[in-house]
Structure 1
Amino acid sequence: MQLTPRRAVPPLLTLVVAAMLTTGCADREATGMPEPDPTPSAVTSGPADPPTAAPVAPSGRVTPPSVPTDPPGRRPPTAPPKNPTDTRPTGIVVGHVTRGGSGPCYGVVTDDGQEYALYGPEAGTFTTGTRVRVTTAPLLLRISCGRGTHAAIVKMEPVG
């Protein structure tokens, strides 16, 4: 069966006119819409931006542009935070050795006066007064290394 151009043109023409009407590209006289009155406030001296058409879904419906929203679960704060938001890393102690030697117990006092009693059987030898940086972990053994906050030594190294 062979189609003649007359039978193929009307469906194609209908599709083109429908697309022009849904995207706003049709001539205003053909749609019966009046031309807008240009007002002095609407006239600009620069080049006009081309109108943007709303996307057309495969079903032929015009889909509105998406509106950006905040991600789910994020709301603006209602009050200032109760705790500091710039927290120091936990488990890091920097200070001067107050009880030194070859271990396994050491005493370290930080610059703000916090005293630590640290346990580390293989931490090394540190003399009193040496400035050290210590990575700590909770002390799981029942050992007393003197006054201060008890912690186990993960790594202990001198700093300049």
Structure 2
Amino acid sequence: MKIAFLVAPEGIEQVELTEPWQAVEAAGDTPRLVSTQSGRVQAFDHLDKADTFPVDQVVGEASVDEFDGLVLPGGVANPDALRMDEQAVAFVRAFFDAGKPVAAICHAPWTLIEADVVGGRTVTSWPSLQTDLRNAGATWVDEQVQVCTSGPNTLITSRKPDDLKAFNAAFTEAFAKVSAG
């Protein structure tokens, strides 16, 4: 399977990119870094600059048909920038329209809200997003990971970096089930 990781040019919480990326590779799948700009993206360790990562593809040139699933890493600035980019929002929405699985952690559900895909879904996130998610029609729960299948696709959400082990296990399992048919 080929899995898209959608990120903004900066503000990604590094561990929320690198650990899910490694989980995709460990599952024998191929991760691809998709961003709103070419070049390299700047990750952060909370508020401190961390590593940079090369972009594989610009979102405006990417098609959902190329991918089997989508992972949305968090960080505060990352999803805030993505939700302001029409092509990024359309890319996210297209995964739901195609019935493909999506995984989002921490602040990443902000992009899901902008894509108008959380209504009627049960999700979790960083606690400060709970009001935004409820206002968008979602049911918010305070759980390590939430797997929601009550919609056009499987949506896996998680709260924070401390939940990465559970998040990675849940989304790789859900992606594998979808791939198996």
Specify the TM-score bucket, using the shorter chain as the normaliser.
Answer: under 0.3
What TM-score do you get using the length of structure 2 for normalisation?
Answer: 0.17
Structure (1 or 2) with the larger CA radius of gyration: 1
More strand by share: 2
